[in-house]
Structure formats: structure tokens, C-alpha cells
Amino acid sequence: MSLLNPSDLDPNRLPLNVKPTHYDVTVKTDLEKLTFEGFTKISLDVKEDTLSIVLNCAGLSFQEVSLTSEAALTEQKPSQQSIEGDRLFLTFDSLIPANSKAELKIGPYSAPLGDSLTGYYRSSYQKDGKPNYYALTQFEAIDARRAFPCWDEPLLKATFAITMISRSDSVNLSNMPAYSEKVYAPGSEEALEKNIPSLKALDSSWKITQFETTPPMSTYLVAYANGPFKYLEDSVKMPSGKDIALKIYTTPELLHQAQFALDVKKKVLPLYEEIFDVEFPLPKLDTLVVLSHDFASSWSTGAMENWGLITGRTTAFLLDPKTTDTNAKKNVFTTQSHEVAHMWFGNITTMEWWDYLYLNEGFATLMGEVIVAGIVFPEFKPKADFISDHLNAALALDAKPSSHPIEVQCPNADSINQIFDSLSYSKAGSGESKFLRMLSDYVGEDRFLKGVSIYLKSKLYGNGVTEDLWKGISAATGQDIVRLMENWINKIGFPVITVSESENGIEVRQDRFMETGIAEPEENKTIWNVPLNILSVDNSGKSTIDRSALLEERSKSFIVDTSKPFKLNGGTAGVYRVLYTPERLSKIGVEAAKPDSCFSVEDRMGLVYDSMALSKAGLQKLSSALNLIDNLRNEKEFLILDAISGNLAGLVSTWWEYPEIVDNLNALRRSLFVPLVDKLGYDFPDSEPTDITRLRSCVVGEAAAAKDEGVIKELRARFDHFKSTGDESKIPAGLQRVIYGTAVKYGGREEYDSVKQLVESVRTPTSKLAAMIALGQTQDPALIQETFDYLLTSSRDQDFVYYLRGLSSNFQSRRQTAQFFRDNYAQIYKRFEQNSMLKYLVSGSFSGLSTQKDYDETKSFFQDKDVSKFNLSLAQTLDTIGARIAYLERSSDDLGGWLKEWRGRA
């Protein structure tokens, strides 16, 4: 028999003496008082004799608790009741016997609709100059407990029946369809009025909406919302023959921008059912688009995969139907596709605990943004695009001393929230480039997906761990996937493969790669199983990739004809960097620059990213990487030029306090990008190839950043036309960000105020975002200070980081941004302590710094602070500053010398 004492329990996991099987949750939402009330009835399976029950509850004020069990015909009240942290401890006098059923009732309880973007929270939009409110949930990872008492752990699945009470002129939404909605008549709902007595004071302007019961699911996937929503609708017939109702909801003034996301959902939903060979179990799939959404579910997308009711920010799901902004279009389709993938991988089959987050996020990223995106939107080249979008950022993070394994222990709430970082999202599902994609490439995509289907079917409505997935793929491939992948998942970091040449071929060696060089011996003990994917060319000039070449030891020799072009990591499908001799890299660069090069787009992108990362780590000279880039100056592919532009911008940002080097780097950028601006112009013709559209946005932005006078003059003239006439026709969506930023940077008060008005007007999400970032580009000290003041007094919580991004990218305000964070730390911490934003604000405020003094001051400032909510981000930030210091010390002479020599040639 268990009598549970709080001091004897695991502080981070609930005891399993009882398990929930079903919840009846009633929620009354008052959007005028900005409060909610609730009542929860929970059906329990009793697993062992007990006198105690422990569940999660946070921030709820409640009155009554009672228990009915099969062993007692009357209700029991707890003899002891206490809250420790976010756990409710209940002790009863009568035994609750094992192998029996029980029912726990809690309520009524109440809480304010807060604005923390977590739990059941409020948001607003402007209508007739006044705020209009709505409410919605964001429960991942551990915030369902803020909305109703529950067993708030992913392993403890149950079914849910949601009842919502609201004003009759509002719309109620939840995971399942409503089966009943009626106007509330006082005195007509005896059971509800008993559970929530305040109903008796209501009049007939309220309604009751009852939703169908869900399949078994984890609490973090429960969702409901109430507000003045409108919708677009459609339906789709699935391969199983079912018709699924599809809707997308948002506030009325934004509805016209929702059609594209609805269309994407219709295209991808049946594809997942076909690929996984598992029927979509719900009768509908809604999307709710809101102005305020937490970043915990994804920094890059701001969306959440609630089963049957996806939620997300306007930037994640809305698109102006007339836009030429291909990046916005890509963001919408990858976000919608990613979240739909979760309906299977994450929702039907869920990770057992947050240690296995990558099973959810990595796979949804791989499926939604690469495999399915490649079927529906091949013009975006998702496999190559993913190298820029995810691979390089994740490798950069994983090369830091503060990195963690992909499968990382999450003992407490703070660590759970912090693993929602680029490493967890990108490291697991990195297109052609990271662990799951590398495995898919190695065993073959068809067999990989067959293995995933086996895994899902073995865990329907259940929970899984890493080994379960590997067993499914092993069954489909006949290979020992557990052995193959073990160190990739459980060990920190990834290798650099050093290639040396001999008479008969090549010798390759693996060592752990760090952003400051090869790891010290004590941190260089891991041996990974590395698919080398050796690309070589035969006598006819045809290239092939040997996918059987596997490095399973520290070093090994392979037969390769080195008289012809060759390259490791063909297709950039492996999770490693490749270090060649300077002579071989030079030969590879010459081959890569040929119009008929044997190296694919993915290969050339990988070469650029590898060479720059290896230079930063001190494993090759930065001048070697710049020679490679200079060789590629006639490149036509957008994705390769985008990789080059990003890396050159990174050098400018690193050497930002070295004026001569910055001037010379800008001259190099102008030589690369201004000719393309002259060729492509500033306007976006209808029906031109997606690559050209994206390339124009890239090269105009880079030329402006490199201070080309002609480009700046053109962009300012276009903004001036808008400012004086209100006509936006000369500001295409694909150039909004650079035009707004240029106007503010080279203008004054008038331009600043014009862009600020764009932020505050009802516009497309991308234009508002562009305007927020642009405000940080001003060079006027008074306007810089005004932007900081606006941040504290007027910015929405979810937009704070965008203003900060603009200010920290501005060399005039970069150090001031760090000082702003320090000066206002207490206020910022209090404002964001309940959501995931603090980690992004820390990195955004300090990561651009680059001197030993900066490092020491940053470390000292946080020395006496409680950093438990962002300690991983802080460690990564300090690593970043430290790596910049080393880079500057090591490579300034090499960079300066190469640039002077290049300018002499140019």
C-alpha cells in the first residue's frame, strides 16, 4: 500500500500508482473579464493499493476535490491536500484498492487568462481602434497543468471530452468536431451548474459547445480556443476512402490570407496516410492562426501540432495571395506540412518522455520539409534547401563545447523547455544532411519509410523510444540499425573526416569536430559509423556515389582514382565536415566552377559550408575558403549563391570592428552580387522560375548590405515614392525587408516614422516583420534609444525578439543592445519567465560580441543570476563569443592579406 510523501518522490516524474484513462473537461471562458473557470472529472485505473494520488496543477484556484471508487459507494474528500510546486498531493482516509476504477473530480477552479503565451492564454487584435480579445491554449511541453488538473506527462495518455461555455457570439474550437451547441438557458443544465455554480448568474447570451471524445492522446496535444473567428473550408478524400473536413480559422481581417495554407493542408494530408500506411483517425483537421503564439514549439515557425487543431502565428500560416515573397510562401508550406506530419509521428505515436523529443521534431522536419515538400513543391529543391535552412545551423550549434547529444536527459521543467532549440529541431531531421536523413539516404528512402510505418503500427496510440524506431527500420532493411546509429544519438558532436592521398587512393580519419578545432584527446574518443558516400568520376566522365563505403574505425584506406575529380559526402547527406589538403580543395574548386561540373548543387553547397567552418576552426586557412568562393563567382544557382552570401555576411559580422577588412569584404560582395542585380533588376515578373525570384531578393539585399551606392539610391527612391503617395507598387514583397531597412538606415525621422506606422497598421505578417526588423537599422542615436524604449513599453511579447534582432545586427547599436538587456534584466526576466523567449533574447543580445572584455563582462553579469531557464543558451552564447575571439586572433592577418591581394587583382 502506498502513502506518498512528497519528499520521497521523484521531483520530476509523477508516481504511477494510478493512471488516467479519460478526462471530462469543462471550460467557461469570459473574454470580457479575461478569466476562465473549469471543472475536471478524471477516470482512473488504480494500479496498486494506495491512500494517495499525485497529479499536476499550476496556477489554478480551486475549491472542491472528491473521489469515488469501486470500493466505496460514497464520495471521499481528501483528508490532506497540498500543492508542492506544480503538483497536487491528495491523501484519503479509505484505501483505494489495486485493480479497481476510480473517478476524481476537481473544481470549480479559476484563473486569469494571462498573456504569457502558455497554458490557456489571451491574445488580441485591433478592431475599430479597440482591442478585441480571444483565448487559446499552448500546452507543449508542460503547460496543460495551467489550464486543468491532469497527469501532464506524454506517457500518460487518455481520452478527452471537452465542453466549452462561452458568449453565444463567439466561436469555440477543440481537437474534435462539436456534436452539440446550444444556447444556455439558466436552470436547464443541472449537472453543469452543480460543477460550476457561477453559471446560474448567466443569461441567455451564453452557449454550451460539446465536442466528440478524442482518441487516446497526451495532455500536451489537447487544445481549445474561444473568440470571434471566421474560417475557410474544404475537404479531402483520403486513400482509406474517408472524407476529412478541413478548415482554417483566424480573425476576420486576416481571412483572405489563409487560402494557401488550407490548400497545402489538402495536398499533404493524404500523402502522409499513403506513405505511413496508417489511417488518419480524426474526422477533421483545423488550423487556427493567431497573432500571439509561443516559440516553444518552434523558434523558426511558431506553430503547434495539437491533434485536430493546429495553431500558429500569422507568419507561419498567412500569405498575401498577390505576394512575390517566395520565402514567405516556403515558410507557410513547410510549416503546414511539418505540423500535419505530427498528426502521425508525435500524435498517434508519441515519445515516451522529453528525452526523445527528436523522435517527434526531427521526423516531422524530415517528412514535412524535405520528403513531402519535395513531392508537392519540387521547385524549391527542398533537399538542397534544407542544407541552408537546418543542417548548417545545427552543425554550428553541435560544434560548441556546450552541445548536448540528440537524445538528452530532461529531468525537470527548465531543461525540457530548453531542448526546444536548433539542435533538437535540425539535428534530427536535416534533409540530406543530418541523422534521420543520413540514415534514409544510407538504407534507401523507400526502405526507411517502410521501417517508419512498421514502427508506427507497432505503437498505435502508444509511446515509443529511439530503439523502437530503429527496430522498425531494421525489420524493413535487414540491417542492424541500433548498432549503426547508437553513437550518433547518444554521443555529443560529430566528426571531421580528414582526407589524405596515397598512390592507391585515399586515407580517411575521423576526429570530433569543434568550432575551435579538433577536440582534445579526452573529448575525442567517440568512433562514429560514417557513411562516406564517395563521389568519383569514371573514364567516360560519369559520376557515381559509392554508398557502401562505411568508416567504422578511427582511420581506413579506400581505393579511389585521385587523378580524376572525387569528393566525400556526395550529395551532402552525411553529418560531418570533410577536410581536404589545400591542393585537393583547389582542384575541387576548379571542378565545382565548371558549367558541367560533376558536383551537384548539394555538393557545391556542402563545399562552401565545410570550407568556411573548417577555416573558423583553424583547420585550414580562411584564404583557402575565399579562393573557393572566388572560383564560384560565375555560379548561377540561387542556393549556392545564398550560401556564399550568408558566409560573407558572417565574416563582416565577425570583423565588424575592423573597418579596413569590412570595407574590403564589402568590395568583394559588391563584385559578386551587383552584376546580378544589374542583370535581374528589381521587379518580379509573373511566372518566372522560383530560383530567379529568390535569387533577386538575395542579391539585392546583399548589394545593399555591401553599401553599393546605385542599389541604395534605387531602394530609397522606391520607398520615397511609397512615402509620398501611399502607392506600394514599387515595393515588391520580395524586397520589402531590404527596402524598409535601407530607408531607415540612410534616412531620418520621417523614414523611421513611416516604417513604424507599417508595424502598427493591419498588413501582411511578412511586411510587419520586415518593418519591425528595419526599425533597428537606424543610425541616429536618438532613434536607436526610441526603439529600445518602444521595446519595453509597446511591443507585443512575441515580437520583442524581432526588434532585438534588428538592433543587434546594427553595428551602431550592437553593444548598446547588450547593455539594454543588462540594464533592464529584471523587467525582461519577469515579462518572459513563463514562456520560452528568454533563451532567444540572451543569444540575440550578446552573441554578436567579439572581444575578451565582452566575454568577461557577459560572464560576470550572469554570475549571480538564476539562469536555470536559459543556461544552455547562455553557455552557447559564451561559446560563440569565445570562438569569435579565437577566429579574430587566428585569421585577421590571413583575411586582410587575401583581401588586399584580391583587390589588387580586381
The 10 Å Cβ neighbour count of residue 61 is 10
The 10 Å Cβ neighbour count of residue 666 is 18
Q: Is 189 a catalytic residue?
A: no
Per the residue annotation, which of 339, 361, 591, 635 is the catalytic one?
A: 339
CA-CA distance, 354 to 577, in Å (whole number)? 29
Look at residues 269, 418, 413, 327 and name the one whose alpha carbon lies nearest to residue 870. Answer: 418
Q: What DSSP character marks residue 520?
A: P
Residues 6+ apart with CB under 8 A from 375: 271
Which amino acid, residue 136? L
3-state helix, strand, coil in the chain (%, to 5): 45, 20, 30
- Rounded to the nearest 10 degrees, the angle between the axes of helix 466-477 and helix 481-490 is 150
CB 248 within 8 A of CB 153: no
CA-CA distance, 25 to 41, in Å (whole number)? 7
CB 654 within 8 A of CB 887: yes
CA-CA distance, 492 to 586, in Å (whole number)? 32
Look at residues 383, 373, 483 and name the one whose alpha carbon lies nearest to residue 430. Answer: 383
Q: Per residue in 815-830, is it b (16+ CB within 10 Å) or e — as a string? A: ebbbebbeeeeeebee
Residues 6+ apart with CB under 8 A from 324: 684, 693, 732, 733, 734
Q: Is 851 exposed, middle or buried (0-12, 13-18, 19+ CB in 10 A)?
A: middle
Which helix (H) or strand (E) element contains residue 156? Answer: none
Using DSSP's 3-state secondary structure scheme, residue 511 falls into strand
Specify which residues 89 forms β-bridges with.
Answer: 54, 82
Helices in 196-278 by DSSP H: which ranges?
Answer: 259-276
β-bridge pairing 284-290 and 309-313: parallel
Using DSSP's 3-state secondary structure scheme, residue 569 falls into coil
- Rounded to the nearest 10 degrees, the angle between the axes of helix 736-746 and helix 749-760 is 140
Sign of the torsion formed by the C-alpha atoms of 860, 862, 866 and 867: negative
Residues 6+ apart with CB under 8 A from 36: 27, 28, 29, 30, 110, 111, 113, 120, 135, 147
Beta strands in 634-703, from DSSP E residues, in sequence order: none
CA-CA distance, 869 to 871, in Å (whole number)? 6
Using DSSP's 3-state secondary structure scheme, residue 754 falls into helix
Beta strands in 57-146, from DSSP E residues, in sequence order: 61-62, 65-69, 72-76, 80-84, 87-96, 100-112, 119-127, 130-138
Look at residues 331, 336, 299, 294 and name the one whose alpha carbon lies nearest to residue 315. Answer: 331
Q: Is 240 exposed, middle or buried (0-12, 13-18, 19+ CB in 10 A)?
A: middle
Q: CA distances (Å), 179 to each of 208, 544, 599, in order?
A: 11, 58, 58
CA-CA distance, 808 to 867, in Å (whole number)? 21
Specify which residues 135 forms β-bridges with.
Answer: 122, 226
β-bridge pairing 171-174 and 87-96: unpaired
- The catalytic residue positions are 339
